[in-house]
Amino acid sequence: SELGEGLRRIGVKPDFVGASPLVRAEETALGLKKILNPQAVYERCDFLQPGSSIQALVEWLQAVQAETILIVGHMPDCAEIVSRLLTDRADADFEFKKTGAACIYFKSRPEVGRGRLVWLIQPEQIRRGINR
C-alpha cells in the first residue's frame, strides 16, 4: 500500500498494531503490519470502532507493553482521537484526511491532553514521497 510504503520510508516500525474490528480497518492494519514489521503483535480493538470512547483507548495504550504502537481506525474518529490526545478537546482545528497518519509522542504514560504531535502526514505527501 502507498501508506505502508510511505511510513516504511520514514522509519515507522511499530511493535504493536491495533485496529478497529471493521473489515477495512483490519485489512489496512494487517497490510501495514506486513510492510512495517511482520513481527509486531496484532490486536483487534472493539474500542476503535466508530463512536467509541477515548478513555478506553487511553487505558489500552497504558496497558500495552510496547514502545511504538500503530492504531487504525476511522474518520472522523481518528481526527478526534488525535485532537483529544494532544489537547483534551475534540475540536482542535487541523486537517486529517483519510489515509493520513499522525505520530504522537508521550513523555511518560499516555493520557488525554498529554501527547505531543511529532508529525502529521497527508495522503498527497505520502504519494509524493514514494514517487521520488
Q: Summarize pLDDT for 45-74 with one digit per residue, the tens.
A: 999 999 888 999 999 999 998 999 999 998
Q: What is the pLDDT of residue 130?
A: 58
Distance between CA atoms of residues 90 and 80, nearest Å: 5
Average pLDDT over residues 16-31: 96
| Residues above pLDDT 90, as percent of the chain | 67
* pLDDT confidence band for 125 (50 / 70 / 90): confident
Q: CB neighbours of 23 closer than 8 A, spacing ≥ 6?
A: none
Say yes or no to pLDDT of 95 above 90: no
Distance between CA atoms of residues 5 and 34, nearest Å: 11
